[in-house]
Structure formats: structure tokens, C-alpha cells
Structure 1
Amino acid sequence: MREVQALVGPSGELKLAKLSNDLELLSSRTGQEFLQTFVDLLQEVAQVDFIAVSELRVTDRERFQVQAGWMDDESLEKFEYDACFTPCLEAIKSAKLVLVHKDVQTAFPKDDLLQQKGLESFIGYPVSNIHGEVIGLIQLGWRRQTSSAECDQILDTISDFANRIAAELENLRMMRILKALARGPDIHSSGGVFHLITQQVQALLGVNAVFAAECSQADKRLFNILAYCEGGQWLREMEGKSLTYEGRPCEHLETLEEFRIQSGLADAYPNQERYRTAPFDAYLGVRVDDALGNTVGHFVAFHNAPITTHKLETELLTILRDRLGFEILRRRSALHKCA
């Protein structure tokens, strides 16, 4: 890894400097602490008015959550915002750098942050995982114009750390899901553990909707909805509802551990009105078995684009699937004792 070489002097011109001590400091950090240290050092180097490392979260729309950042000396950590009408959206949609040296407010007139804070120039650097998927964004903003030479050296510095930042963002996501499962549902919440599992599946996959279901013990042709989340909202009216496997893609889970439709869901199942009215085009169903291999339930994800799962998602889905199976069996045991 190259040493950071850019340091802004009082005149605003870039001076060359070696920051080996700072790099050693970075190497000893992990997770959010690493991201915050990186942001602090880059702010010192670039002398920016706004800086943030944000995680992309996709539900019904693209949103960012800042994991580390500053604006006018105030921390932006955990600040969350929509990507609509922003240069951020252009960066994540194209998976390419967005660089505006001047008049960024004119270029993106509907971005409230740019307008309210009076930013003049902007860098949006998309952060991608090893599979080329954009999972985050590094943002810098100034209330002055910037030059190509200045930004080129800053971008060299960011490029050196981009892969590490991507790894830390993925690790934070994995730890957040595992901590949520280990902690269990909020004791003050009526949602319960099935809501927790459903919520974490949706957060992991970044999809429009997810539901968790239990196979009916009274009628094997039916399954019962345990929790249903769509667009970040709970569909309470669906909970406890019995649906038939027949005529739905879930029927394939009777023989398959996993079934996918990457596009054309409504065309494949024209009799399902909800597939036509909701923004669903792709389907992922995962079967849940007990220790003897008997099917006890499943969870389903819907999205308006293909649902892709790589190594990290696959490993975490296995954990979520096993937890769902355990909770279904525990619920059945509790109901049996009460009967």
C-alpha cells in the first residue's frame, strides 16, 4: 500500500508529506473504529467541510447510513438519508466516481444537503465488494472550488484504502445481524422473534419484502405467515394468514431447499394478483427443516431486481434459516404444553 502523500497547506495547495505514523495507526484499527480513524485522517489531509463513509441500504428505495463522518465539526455517525436526487445516487447507480469541481448545487438542485450547507464541490467514491456490488460510498464536500491536481491526489489516497473499507462495511453488517440474533427481540416490542428474523433477512439481502412462514400441522397443503415486512413496514394483516402452496412459487420448496425466480415473477404466476400490484419481479424461497429433515417452514424474499447472494449472504442466510427452524419448533412445543 502506498503511503498517504497529500497534505493541504494554508494556501490550499497540496504539499507532499509522509504520514507513516498515521498508516500504522490505521493498521491497528478494525470496524467502525477503523472507519472513523480513516475519516479523521482524510479530513486532515483534504481539509474538507463535509466527509463521510456511508453504508448503502436498499429496501423500497436506496438509503445511506453514515458509519463515520463529519460536517462542520459535528459527528454524522448513524445519520441516515435517502439517495434520491443526490450525486450519491448517480455514484451507486453507475458504480463510478462522481467528481464535481464547482457549482455542484447547480448540477444537483434537488439535493437538500448541498443547498443547505452551501457546498461548491463534491467527490462521491463508490465502494464495491469483491463481487463488484456497490455497498457504500465515500463522500467529500467543500465550500470552495477544487482543482484536478488536488482531487487526483486525494483519490489516490482513497483508492489505497477502498478494499479495506469495503471489507469493514461488510464486517459491520455481518456483526450487526449476528448481534441482533444473539440479543433476541426487544423485550419492549410486540414484534417477537419472527419479526426479528424477518427484519434481518431483509436487511441482509436489501430486498423489497420478506416473510417468514410455518408449515401448517393441520393441513400440509397450507402454510401460515408468521411475520411479513414490506418496504420497511410490517403487514400485520398478513400475520396468521393461511395460504396454499399450490399456485405459488413456494410449492417448489416441498422438493427443493431453495427456489429462485430472477425476473418475470408476475408472468410466471399470473393468477397471483399481488405479484402484479406490488413491485415484485424476483423471488427467493428458502426451505426450513428440522433435525430429521422434515420441513417446518420457509422464508421468502421479493424484490424488483434479481436477488443475488454471495458467500457472506449465503453463510448468514444459513444462520437465519436455522434460527427460524429452532423458533418454529420452540413455538410448537410451547403451544403443545399449553394445550
Structure 2
Amino acid sequence: MEISSAHSGNSHQTDPLDVITPLSSSKNDLELLSSKTGQEFLQTFVDLLQDVIQADFVAISELRVTDKEHIQVKAGWMDGESLKNFEYEACFTPCLEAIKSAQIVLVHEGVQNSFPNDELLQHKGLESFLGYPVLNTYNEAIGLIQLAWRRQTSGEECEQILETINDFSARIATELENLRSQRVLQTLARGPALGTSENIFQLIARQIQSLLAVRSVFVAECSVTDQRNFNILAYCDDGICRKDLEGTSLTYEGRPCKQLETMEEFRIDEGLADAYPDQEIYRTAGFDSYLGIRVTDGEANALGHLVIFHDEPIITHKLETELLNIFRDRLSFEIMRERSLEP
């Protein structure tokens, strides 16, 4: 992977680390890491990396890229304090540059001047930065390894750090993807929490909305009496279940859902309101994009569909696509189960 150093100034290092011992060369470190998985692996890697390099800020973060780029730190330290589950927006940060380019961003000095709108850099007085994008097997950025110092760094120092990170980047990517999958699968396996009024259809809609960080999601069942119509089972709007919309019967005609009568998936990346001018709600709600996924039984007969609305293109990486397929199958199962219970 190439190093992007467009924002780096002259390489001067104060109080340099004379020797950086790579984690990969330490038998004890390797044994410790091999015994960990998931969150424990990420935290252990960060702890060991910090012991070696003594950065002022070190973190492994997970990202979700939709209309706003938010980064959640899964394991990290800043001035001796844990940053676990600390979340921030990356719009004006060197992190976003690493994410968008899928390349390393390395700033040896003056990082505050290069990114004046990054509040963390300004508040903590950080001088240099290293951002290493974590890529999955499809070369999609799913996370970020970040390091920052209140001093300048040198090319030689950072080269050794990059060698260490590179040795573990594939494993870190695997752990981040596994954690994300586990969160959704555990929620679906448990079903709605006890003591809440949420049903399984509301849970599915809310989890999809949370997974993709989109505006609205609804799940629907084909009408048993009239296949030209569908009934809304649950509607999640900005994280809130709209119970007033449940049971609403709508026609396929004149809506993008009409395409799902024959297509497994239908997508509109932009211009939803213009494509369907008769659906005034699309314009008033500010919906600009659409993703619909057909739900069928074991014999490919249509049971219903799930729909996602957003005000920006709906981005689904490989992992999100796989998880959406799991939601689709769970929705199929629950619709058939409900039908089997009907008298």
C-alpha cells in the first residue's frame, strides 16, 4: 500500500524512539494475541502497540460510510484514558482522507494546520498523525488504525510502525467484520427484548435502519387476498418505530416496490421523487434514494419485501449485503410463521 504524504512537512523528530521492536518479532506478544479474539484481540493489539511506540493517541476504529462518516473507536487510548466506544464525525479529519482514498495518510508535522476543522487535533494539541485504513477482502475500507503524537515524527520511525501494523492488518479486518456480524446476528437470534412492546418486525426494521444509518426502513407483507397490494408490518423512521403506519395497505402500482413483483432487488441511487412524482411523501420527507429487496418463500413465491429510504445514495458493502440477506430470510420465516398461526 502506498503512503499518502501530501500534507506532511519537513521531517524533524524530537525525542525519537531509538528502537521500535515490531510486535511480530516478539514470541510472547504473538502468543498473547493468538489467544484473543474479537474485542479482546483489538484491545490487546492496541495495548501492545502503545507499549512499543508510546504515541499520545492510538486507536482501532470501525466506520460506517453513508451520508455522514462516523467513526467509532473499538479499542484505543488517549493520554492514558480508554477511548472504547468513543464516536465522532470524520468529515474534516485526516481519518476521512485515509478512508476515502483507502491509502495510508502520514503527516510528520503540522497536522493541526492541515486539518484546522478537526476538533480533536486542535483540542489535544497533536502535531503528527498516521492513519492506516483497514480493508476487507473486497478492498473496501471498514475501519481505521490511528496514531498521533504531540511531537514531529520521522519517516524511518513511521516505516517501522507501518511494518508492524501491516503484519496484523488482515487479522484486524477479520475481527472488525466478525464483531459487526455478531451484533446483528445476536440481536436477531434473541428477538425483541423482554418487557418491551417491540415485535419481531419492528426489530428487523430498526436493526436495518441502525446497520446502514439510513433515514427510514419498512418491512411489508404481500396481501393474501389481493396480490396487487401490500401491508406494512413495521416502519422505522430515524430510529423510531411508527406504529401508526403498521397495517397500512398500499398498492404496488405507482411505487418503486412494483419492480419487486419480478425483481429480487431494485435500487434508485438518486432522483426518487422525480422518478415517482405522484408519491408526494418522497419529496416532503426528502427521500432521494431507494433500495427494495424481495422476500420469498422456499418455492420463490413472493411473501413481501423490505424497503430502505435515504437522502443520499445507499451504500452497501459486501458485509452489509450479506447481512441484508439474513434479514430478508428472517423476515420470510416470520411471515410464514405468522401465517401458520392464523385460524
Shorter-chain TM-score above 0.5: yes
Alpha-carbon deviation of 1:192? 2.5
State the alpha-carbon separation in 1 of the partners of residues 48 and 40 from structure 2.
Answer: 12
Pair 1:178 & 2:182 matched: no
Q: 1:210 aligns to what SS in structure 2? A: strand
Alpha-carbon deviation of 1:233? 4.7
- Does the aligned pair in 2 maintain the 1:282–1:305 contact within 8 Å? yes
Paired letter, 2:95: C
State the alpha-carbon separation in 2 of the partners of residues 323 and 309 from structure 1.
Answer: 20
- Does the aligned pair in 2 maintain the 1:259–1:284 contact within 8 Å? yes
- Does the aligned pair in 2 maintain the 1:262–1:307 contact within 8 Å? no
Q: How many equivalent residue pairs?
A: 326
Partner of 1:54: 61
Paired letter, 2:168: F
Pair 1:305 & 2:316 matched: no
Partner of 2:10: none
State the alpha-carbon separation in 1 of the partners of residues 131 and 317 from structure 2.
Answer: 26
Partner of 1:42: 49
Alpha-carbon deviation of 1:328? 2.5
Partner of 2:11: none
- Please say which of residues 100-109 and 135-144 is displaced more in the overlay: 100-109
Alpha-carbon deviation of 1:204? 4.3
State the alpha-carbon separation in 1 of the partners of residues 105 and 215 from structure 2.
Answer: 27
State the alpha-carbon separation in 2 of the partners of residues 251 and 261 from structure 1.
Answer: 13
State the alpha-carbon separation in 1 of the partners of residues 221 and 205 from structure 2.
Answer: 13
- Please say which of residues 128-137 and 97-106 is displaced more in the overlay: 97-106
The superposition leaves residues 180-226 of structure 1 with CA deviations (integer Å, 9 ceiling, x where unpaired) of: 11111122433332222123334444544422112233433222222
> Which TM-score applies when normalising by structure 1?
0.85
Pair 1:124 & 2:143 matched: no
Alpha-carbon deviation of 1:276? 4.3
State the alpha-carbon separation in 1 of the partners of residues 65 and 198 from structure 2.
Answer: 22
Structure 1 residues 219 and 131: CA distance shift in structure 2, 3 A: same
Which one has more relative contact order, counting CA pairs under 8 Å at least 6 apart? 2
Q: How does 1:285-300 map to 2 (within 5 A)?
A: 285-291=292-298, 293-300=300-307
- Does the aligned pair in 2 maintain the 1:70–1:76 contact within 8 Å? yes
The superposition leaves residues 268-326 of structure 1 with CA deviations (integer Å, 9 ceiling, x where unpaired) of: 4343334445565543322222345442211022342254453x444433321121122
Give the superposed CA RMSD: 2.6
- Does the aligned pair in 1 maintain the 2:66–2:313 contact within 8 Å? no
Structure 1 residues 188 and 107: CA distance shift in structure 2, 3 A: farther
Partner of 1:195: 202
Which residue of 248, 252, 259 corresponds with 1:252?
259
- Please say which of residues 182-191 and 29-38 is displaced more in the overlay: 182-191
Alpha-carbon deviation of 1:54? 0.7
Pair 1:14 & 2:22 matched: no
Structure 1 residues 191 and 83: CA distance shift in structure 2, 3 A: farther
Partner of 2:330: 323
State the alpha-carbon separation in 1 of the partners of residues 51 and 61 from structure 2.
Answer: 19
Percent of pairs with identical residues: 65
Structure 1 residues 206 and 159: CA distance shift in structure 2, 3 A: farther
Paired letter, 2:117: K
State the alpha-carbon separation in 1 of the partners of residues 166 and 66 from structure 2.
Answer: 28
> Which TM-score applies when normalising by structure 2?
0.84
- Does the aligned pair in 2 maintain the 1:60–1:231 contact within 8 Å? no
